[in-house]
Amino acid sequence: MRKMKRLAVSLGLAAVIAVPAIAETKTVTLSTTLKSYDGNGAYLAIYLTDAQGKFHSTLRVLGRKAKYHSHLRDWSRGNAFEKRKIDGITGASVGSGQSLKVSVDVADALIDAGYQIRIDSSVENGRDNPADVVVPLTSANASKPTSGKGYVKSFTFDM
């Protein structure tokens, strides 16, 4: 209970969705396509931040070995308080040129409310790309492909 309280305080606005029973959610489909590069599968973190880039919550993590998660830098820094909360939303790393489509539930309150979807990416012996993709979570941006500056070739969210 104490933990819960601390979480709510530190996340501020997140308190709104801390009680999911009342919150209305929308299913958002995230489609990510990677560029072709030399190297092993890329680790990705797809997460939400506020307009200032302050971490809000994790949508999906790709790449299972936790010791490499520190290379997903911005996410890892923001995510520091919610250790081990990513168990159910972690998948395998994504290979060069591959596409990935996942569906997540996002609280209605976060849409068109100044929040951003961000992706951090990292490849072994390659580079770490904090904020590879930054796209505001607005109805207007839905279904519009955004290109990344790192390993992400294009990212689209549909809702």
Find the shortest distance in angstroms from Cβ 80 to other proteins: 5
DSSP state of 52: T
156 C-beta neighbours (distance < 10 Å), count: 17
For CA atoms 10, 79, 149, 62, give the dihedral sign.
Answer: negative
CB nearer to other proteins: give 126 or 136. 126
Three-state SS at 88: helix
DSSP conformational letter for 3: H
Which CB, 60 or 71, lies closer to other proteins? 71
Could you identify the residue written with the tokens 């992400």?
Answer: 152
- Least separation in angstroms between residue 94's CB and other proteins is 14
Closer residue to other proteins (CB): 55 or 157: 55
Residues engaged in binding other proteins (CB under 8 A): 38-40, 52-53, 66-67, 69-70, 73-74, 76-77, 80, 83, 125-131, 149-150
Q: Tell the smallest beta-carbon distance from residue 15 to other proteins (Å).
A: 21
| Least distance between other proteins and beta carbon 127 (Å) | 5
CA 129 vs. chain centroid, Å, equals 13
